[in-house]
Structure 1
């Protein structure tokens, strides 16, 4: 962003994303539909900047100024889907936390039967940045599978693997413990595609019976109880985000 743009504020799509109204892509659709007004006038061009004191309306409703960037650690239990609206009517993470948090989005997802650390934030731009494989954040899991894995097959995953025509990036997987017919694996990856671990393990002839995310980048599940939610202090965000992400978006601040 140029110095001139910085002085003028955020582009309207980014501003609406930070305010929790819509993703940037959806905001651009709202612009095209004429649903957005700035200081009483309809705006349609994405190169519209929002400054301090401007009044933005979406479908006639005034949008509150974006809050500072906030991030929470959530210990997601199984049985919840990570989506705002589920067409099948299943319980969602956001329904569960509706009365505890402002409007937030997830950094990545955990599917219905997966558990563990889910990062939640009110900053859509930050969420997208942290999800990118190019950001380089490692996601670590404990995975229980039925059967005894072949160590050589696990080691080969570090070179990437193609399953069903889909190419998955390098995965680090090692045997952690064995209990009867079950084996616990320590699994690490950087992409985190939909059901990636389950599909790769099935490709190796292993059935996943439990999947727990224990870390996302520098943030750990730790001793956070199942269903527990805890905000990451701003000081910790300032320490961790720049160092881990290279050049992440700057933390948003209150506008007065």
Structure 2
């Protein structure tokens, strides 16, 4: 089925990696260098910690056969929403550890023989643990100004650099925390003569792959003031799945321009146009 995707992000940090054909694949990895330097004087214990939320909505609504669009008389579709909750700790300027918790909601309509089945599936997806290694980091010289705060003596204020660039290596593991029971459908499908064929199967509805997977990726980011451009690439090495169903290894990439609508010491809200 052809996919139409809308990527929207919000949270404490901004960036996204989205997969169009397989929404189980991408890990949301916020760019730490996009965040202005925070003031930890009130919460010194929070230094190094960060959090973020990423949202991806994907609609599968066009039926295809061998890459060609075909009629969809039953109006079958699959709407998929994945909310990724991210928590991480920046060990130092080069290394950070991050946990991704995906919350998945799917709504679908498909033919089952001569009947129409509609329903939803929801729950926790497969959790990921990532190590982020900074390969390259650049920031333009910061500007300094003098401000007067009630007194006569000026106070020097260091401003954030206008231009930043970074390249980050991602390595990690994905755990089979998502319910993979829908994969059992793959072994019990029966073709009914004369009935419309379904384009939505168990592997489309499952919340998890049922396997431990290796994650390897790379992320590039360029920011000028509130404008940014990011590219991402990620390879997933699949392990042996449960129910004797193994997902194939996959490689995804994505990138595009974006703009931070809000970017301050506490919150970032950004919108990005992504091709993948």
Alignment TM-score, normalising by the size of structure 1 = 0.25
Structure number, greater radius of gyration: 2
Greater relative CO, 1 or 2 (CA 8 Å, sep 6+): 1
Higher helix share: 1
